[in-house]
Structure 1
Amino acid sequence: MKYSKIAALSIFLFLSVFVFSCSDNDAPAPVYEAGTNEYVNEWMYQQMKKYYRWNTTMPQKGRLDLFPQEYFAGLLQEDDIYSYAVHPELPETAQQSLRRKFGFEVSFFEFETKYYGVVLYVLEDSPAKRNGLKRGRLITKIEGTVLNQNNYNELYSKMTSVSQLTLETVSYSQQTGFSNLKEVSILQGYTFSQPINYSVIEDKNKKIGYVEISHFDVGQSQSFLKAFQELKNKSITELVVDLRYNGGGDIASATALSIILAPNIQSGNLFIKFEGNANGGKVDQSFKEALESNESKISFDALRNVHPSINRVYILCGKHTASASELIINNLKPYMEVITIGDKTFGKDVAGFPIVDDRISGKKGWTLYPAIYKLFNSRHEGDYSKGIDPLIFQNEIQQPEISPLGNSSEVLLAKALNSINGNTAKILYPSVKYLAVSANESDADFLKIH
């Protein structure tokens, strides 16, 4: 059997579905009592044998009486950290992260023999933002416990598992040192759509556009049009795109951004190559086809009309940069110079769509999110499951004082500005020791600092 059409593909945010055809020769599945583990797991096995990118390496059916989430995990190949299964009525099966629960990202470091968490990113209109948390705040206590060398890993895990979080935070600047001690209590809640932040930085007689994108949402093309029309009107000649906290999303929206950025492209130029199993086969999509897979209101030509006068793009990246963000880095390379600055990206080079068990009328059952396609650019370059190395390595935590994103003194942006201006001088900072946190998350919502 072959999947007959790619429509509205999202990279592991699974915001849409593929249309596929089934063979009349498919063997009928055994019949089990509805609602039992056997009923669910038999269905899971059949779906994975049909769609899973690595279906030929799947084990035998095994014990169908296992809890479905455990059973699903046993079907995956060893290094598949992307595929997962959730049940809408079982919150404990959902993936857990600080970003999803509270709307912020954190890392840890040692400075002058003491240990701190540092808030790296706060989503707009999130529980964290609404309770006053912002980038650069240092965390000294988590749930009343002082951070130290032996407990920060355990405390991080605790942060991702609770529904209410209490932190003791403090500010730091090189001029005044530590100040403004404050306790912050945050309830788990919703975070809503994020703005696209952009500005123009005038540096050494150059106009440099800066754009920060937190996620690729469905229908984001209109926002890109507005932002880049303004940047074009201001005559930028260089561009920095900040994707260091962008974990992916809708491919059509990522394609829209790519259409704006790449110079001298045509609508029919090949943009993405999808490679599935023997059932799914291989599918190639041009810029226009990838855009129209999930964008009907904004045309290729409209996006091209706001292309600024640039021939290269600087992309700020890191361990949170995943999926559609990595796709942009990899798939723009055949068409323009892409200069990446920061840390190695997460390494999610697969795509898929949700498979919902809706066999019981009026009730949604388990939803599978398997890896279905590997992604490649027009030159068949890809296979970055271990992450994409930046051209310029730079850890964004160089000192306890962390500048706001978009500020020209912020470490990664300053590195980009220096590179644009041909300045390679190094800046010396106080001694900071970075701490790696061990975690078992299948998304890009975690940053390990080495």
Structure 2
Amino acid sequence: MNHFKNKIIAILILPLFYISCQKDDALVIYSAGTNEYNNQWIYEQMRRYYYWNNEIPDNIDLSLLSNDYFSSLLFHQDRFSYAYHPSIPESMTSTLRSSFGMDIGFISYEGNVYGVILYVLSGSPAQNNGLKRGQLITAINDIPISQTNYNSLYEITGKADDLSFTIVEYTYETGFSQSVTKGLTSYYTFLQAPLYNILLTGNKRIGYLQVSHFDEGLAQSLLNIFNEFKSQNVNEVVLDLRYNGGGDVSSAAALSILLAPTIVEDDLFITFKGNENGGVINQSFKEALEMNESVVSYYELRQSSIPLNRVFILCGNNTASASEIIINNLKPYISVIAIGEKTLGKDMAGFSISDNRNESQPGWILYPVIYKLYNANGEGDYSNGVLPDIELNELTDIQLFPLGDENEVLLNKAINIISGNGGREQNNTVKVLSKTVQDNREFIILPNSD
């Protein structure tokens, strides 16, 4: 991937000092570990690699805290570049998903405001404390949720180490249950296996696949699932990416190869467009797969693909990065029918840049936007999100069915299109409330090794 793929090698002129060469600066030697020492390094990396490098302001005060200095360099349209320091915990961000393995939306129903649990990750604090999709939250940390405080309470959840939720359940048959309070303590949630099942409707055999994140090495699991689909004569696929915030581009390429039977190995999968230093990089499906996948080959994936002529993709405002690549970059090769809400809009990629000048003391790590992403037709620039073909909000019912259940709103819509049998009626008494999006900085991270 040209010289931008190479590891960043900091050449030390002096072991404990750094020489400033920012525009219009007099020659200055900075002591290692100072803000000026760190910030001058940050400035030089951003000037070289950052997609909007020509928009970087000059002569920003080098004495600023490095987090603030980095932020001051960012282009106003950039929502996703970030920097952190391993020994500065406050430079890291967390979300309800990363800390507790879940996320929630908000609705108003019969004059009351509820948080709705959208998903719960396997092995997470949320799952291990009995939380599940569809449960309703009436209070967070013993504070009742209202029209005026739901967003501020949601922001708290992304920063807390401990949380309590007051939970009720609801079905149309039984109504509301008695409330219970669940306490959660944050800890790391392990990688998630894709979930799948096969649904039958008429002469259609529908393979439902839910991928929560494109982890490195996911290709083997996807290969196994599609071999099962193939053995069960699946002839339609519904891919659920509504809670998938991105991940590894090689895993996204693997799934694309399985979904579109007309793809050949040298077909263009993705184009990376950088600044004047990065240039333009084109990758075929095979090249993108092999960038970070050494176990499963293109040919194994090709042999396990299903003869599809379309794919249904369930999406929403948590669908981002590698998931958006699936939607955008499959379009030149297969009919894509996206159902749900507009996606987040992460049409970009980058790699980590580490300050390794002092081997005994790790420095700042930068994740700047370096490339914009395009498909084989040159289509991209979806920073405002990818619009679905069929717009539908999953929270239109007070009763939220499990993912993969044929009664679930978005999946039911796909089944309705496939079968033509008519969809489940929606409840119009639920009002969906907009919420602040918690900080989700992840975008496509490319390898930067030789």
TM-score range, shorter chain: over 0.9
* AA of the residue aligned to 2:432: Y
Mapped contact 1:315–1:340 kept (Cα < 8 A)? yes
Mapped contact 1:4–1:21 kept (Cα < 8 A)? no
- Runs of 5+ unmatched residues, structure 2: 12-18, 22-27, 444-450
Q: How does 1:241-256 map to 2 (within 5 A)?
A: 241-256=239-254
1:10 corresponds in structure 2 to none
Sort the Cα spacing of 1:87 and 1:5 in 2 relative to 1 into closer, same or farther, 3 A: closer
Mapped contact 1:4–1:20 kept (Cα < 8 A)? no
Q: 1:152 aligns with which of 144, 150, 153?
A: 150
Sort the Cα spacing of 1:258 and 1:159 in 2 relative to 1 into closer, same or farther, 3 A: same
Sort the Cα spacing of 1:115 and 1:72 in 2 relative to 1 into closer, same or farther, 3 A: same
Q: Shift of residue 421 of structure 1?
A: 1.5
Q: Shift of residue 377 of structure 1?
A: 0.4
Q: How does 1:31-70 map to 2 (within 5 A)?
A: 31-70=29-68
Distance 1:297 1:180 in 2: 50
Q: How does 1:253-272 map to 2 (within 5 A)?
A: 253-272=251-270
Q: How does 1:155-304 map to 2 (within 5 A)?
A: 155-304=153-302
Q: Shift of residue 368 of structure 1?
A: 0.6
2:363 corresponds in structure 1 to 365
Sort the Cα spacing of 1:187 and 1:251 in 2 relative to 1 into closer, same or farther, 3 A: same
Sort the Cα spacing of 1:216 and 1:424 in 2 relative to 1 into closer, same or farther, 3 A: same
SS of the residue aligned with 1:134? coil
Q: Quick one: percent identity of the two aligned structures?
A: 48
Q: Shift of residue 442 of structure 1?
A: 4.3
2:134 corresponds in structure 1 to 136
Sort the Cα spacing of 1:249 and 1:431 in 2 relative to 1 into closer, same or farther, 3 A: same
Q: Shift of residue 443 of structure 1?
A: 3.6
1:351 corresponds in structure 2 to 349
Given the two structures, how large is their TM-score scaled by the length of structure 2? 0.92
Deviations for 1:193-238, whole angstroms, at most 9, x for unmatched residues? 1011111100122100000000001111111111110011000010
* AA of the residue aligned to 2:159: S
Q: Shift of residue 428 of structure 1?
A: 3.3
SS of the residue aligned with 1:31? strand
> Is 2:114 the partner of 1:116?
yes
2:313 corresponds in structure 1 to 315
Q: 1:404 aligns with which of 398, 402, 405?
A: 402
Deviations for 1:129-187, whole angstroms, at most 9, x for unmatched residues? 11111101100011111111111111111111111001111101111111042111110
Q: Cα RMSD between the aligned structures?
A: 1.9
SS of the residue aligned with 1:231? helix
SS of the residue aligned with 2:296? coil
- Runs of 5+ unmatched residues, structure 1: 7-17, 446-450
Moved more, 273-282 or 149-158: 149-158
Moved more, 423-432 or 360-369: 423-432
Equivalenced residues, count: 430
Mapped contact 2:405–2:411 kept (Cα < 8 A)? yes
Q: Shift of residue 249 of structure 1?
A: 0.2
Q: Shift of residue 88 of structure 1?
A: 1.2
Deviations for 1:325-375, whole angstroms, at most 9, x for unmatched residues? 000100000000000000000000000011111211222221111000000
Distance 2:397 2:426 in 1: 10
1:96 corresponds in structure 2 to 94
1:72 corresponds in structure 2 to 70
* AA of the residue aligned to 2:309: N
